[in-house]
Amino acid sequence: MPSTEQTSNGSSPKTYPLIINNKEHKTKSSFEVKNPSNGEHVHSFSSATIEDTDAAIKAAEKALPAWKTLPPNKKRDIFLKAADLLESRSAELQKTMSKETGAAESWAQFDTSLAPEILRDVAGRITTLSGSIPQTSQEGVSALVFKEPYGVVLAIAPWNAPHILGVRSIAFPLAAGNTVILKAPELSPLTSLGFVTALHDAGLPEGVLNLIAHSAKDAAEITNHLIAHPAIKKINFTGSTNVGRLIASAAGKHLKPVLLELGGKAPAIVWEDADLDAAAMGCVVGAFLHGGQICMSTERIIVHANIASKFEEALKSAVAQFAPNDSPEPVLINAGGVTKNQSLLSDALSKGATIIHGDAQAGTGAKMRPVIIKDVKPEMEIFQTESFGPTVSLFSVSSEEEALRLANDTEYGLSSAVFTRDLARGLRFARGIESGAVHINGMSVHDETALPHGGVKSSGYGRFGASGLEEWVRTKTVTFKD
């Protein structure tokens, strides 16, 4: 990791630089990064101006011609070496991530362990990009279809799974021959610096990957400047639907393509023939893993009426095992997340919802334990709002049609789960649920590089994962007379 600079006195938290052209880039101002678990100012990070941003764009433009023509085996070797470096540095990376985001040790371990696998998987796919030689309708004329990188790509990654989603945001564009500017989340910029440094140490050439960050107050100005800049050819963003709409709107104004992976309101359907204990644990982990701060988190549990009372007891048992009262409280990214969930629960309870597990108003600072409620109705805010926290609602239905109506009665469509021993029924549900993924007898939180990943409706468009390389090349048709 690059050397650090202390602020005004020796005991002050360190200030970390941007990385432009593979070099430390210091700025005139910085912003504080605090540990949400205790409010401690753990370090500061350099805050980019328009001038700093333009320097990153210039570096990426300059690096593009050599990078896009670099043989795929050489790109592959850089990715594989970077994966090894990430693994060797995992303890340090986990420590940084936990300080910046308040993540539990188990989540930090998972996040850092999957990131190297993304690099290895993408490395193995680099040579699969290929064009074609189609038949033409004109006699004596032949054609070639090339696949070429877009150019300079803007990647915007979130804080909740900073290694997985950060590495994913840059690996696919880089592998396809694009150069990248990574706009790090202001809540976890040092985590982003960790994996960017690993790629540079692995041999990524100067300017191919540049890291910028900025204070929250400068977000709109810097982001709009990046999107509008003529050198930026495509954008990927993972984050909230509200911000995704703003980015899509700005990109649309400049006719630039965007890959968006946004929010979710994932349903889990539990049918009467399901293994209730396994389904209950799948719903609990799917709802409360990482404090529910995952875009694929289960937010609606839809259970058949014939087993509703039995499943409710199984659910209570599962949550007691997964998050016992004597275990540490889950830490959300900030106190605002707790306030939001408490407000959603308060509104629901005032309109007739009841608590199955937990305390709707318990929670101090950024810490909050899981809460399960039932008797939720459409007029309650929690029915439609993504909680992005440790709350989940339980519903009872009597038919497959009713289950599907409830599962689809949301603007979101990222992930979902179905629990049943009848595969034919599970596949019927899978065809009917409006989401980018359906996991039969598995929790809604499921993402791997071997599979396409993305949503429908307000959960975004475009796909990471197995089809991810194709997202980052465009075709060029060439015809010639024989």
The string over 214-246, giving b where at least 16 C-beta atoms fall within 10 Å of a residue's C-beta and e elsewhere, is bbeebeeebbebbbebebbbbbbbbbebebbeb
List pLDDT tens digits, range 378-437: 999 999 999 999 999 999 999 999 999 999 999 999 999 999 999 999 999 999 999 999
Q: Which residues, in sequence order, are bridge partners of residue 393? A: 300, 373
Percent of the chain with pLDDT over 90: 94
37/335 Cα distance (integer angstroms):
9
Strands 232-238, 371-374: pairing is unpaired
User: What is the model's pLDDT at position 362?
Assistant: 84
Selection from 299, 330, 402 nearest residue 105 by Cα? 330
- Looking at the DSSP assignment, which residues form a beta bridge with residue 15? 5, 44
- The architecture in CATH of the region 15-262+460-479 reads 3-Layer(aba) Sandwich (3.40)
**467 has pLDDT over 80:** no
Check residue 9 and give its pLDDT: 46
Confidence at 11, pLDDT banded by 50, 70, 90? low
Average pLDDT over residues 5-29: 82
Rounded CA-CA distance 49/221 in Å is 9
Q: Are 255 and 228 in contact (CB under 8 A)?
A: no
In the CATH scheme, what is the code of domain 266-454? 3.40.309.10
Q: At what angle do helices 162-175 and 72-88 cross, to 10 degrees?
A: 170
The catalytic residue among 51, 117, 139, 261 is 261
Token pair 């706009």 is at which residue?
Answer: 183
User: Given this model, what pLDDT does residue 363 score?
Assistant: 80
Location of structure tokens 């701060």: 293
Mean pLDDT within 358-366: 89
pLDDT (tens digit per residue) in 99-112 = 999 999 999 999 99
- Residue 464 is predicted with a pLDDT of 93
CB 28 within 8 A of CB 214: no
Look up residue 173 and give its two tokens. 């564009």
Band of the pLDDT at 10, cuts 50, 70, 90?
A: low
Question: With DSSP H G I counted as helix, E B as strand and the rest as coil, what are the percentages for the chain, rounded to 5?
Answer: 45, 20, 35
> What's the CA gap between 288 and 99, in Å, rounded?
20
Residue 278 pLDDT > 80: yes
d(CA 10, CA 217): 28
Instruction: Name the pairing type of β-strands 41-47 and 14-16.
Output: parallel
Average of per-residue pLDDT values in the chain: 95
C-alpha neighbours within 13 Å on the C-beta side of residue 311: 31
Residues 6+ apart with CB under 8 A from 152: 57, 60, 61, 64, 178, 179, 180, 181, 231, 232, 233
Average pLDDT, integer, range 28-50:
96
Confidence label for 468 from pLDDT (cuts 50, 70 and 90): confident
DSSP state at residue 217 = G
Average pLDDT over every residue of 341-345: 97
Q: In what order do the strands lie in the sheet with 5-6?
A: 5-6, 14-16, 41-47, 29-34
Can you tell me the distance from the alpha carbon of 129 to that of 64, in angstroms, rounded to the nearest whole number? 18
- pTM > 0.85: yes or no: yes
Domain ranges of the chain: 15-262+460-479, 266-454
Residue at 181: amino acid letter: I
pLDDT value for 450: 85
Q: Which residue has the tokens 């959603």?
A: 344
Please tell me the total number of residues recorded for the chain in this structure: 482
Q: If you write DSSP's letter for every residue of 406-457 in order, what string do you get? A: HHH-SS--S--EEE-S-HHHHHHHHHHS-SS--EETS-S----TTS-B--SG
Q: What is the pLDDT of residue 107?
A: 97
Q: 163-220: per-residue pLDDT in tens?
A: 999 999 999 999 999 999 999 999 999 999 999 999 999 999 999 999 999 999 999 9
Counting other chains too, the contacts that 216-225 makes at CB distance below 8 Å and 24 or more residues apart are: 216/31, 216/186, 218/47, 218/48, 218/49, 219/186, 221/50, 222/48, 222/50, 222/53, 222/183, 223/156, 223/183, 223/247, 223/250, 224/250, 225/50, 225/53
Nearest to 168 by CA among 203, 193, 150, 195: 195
Query: Is 261 tagged catalytic?
Result: yes
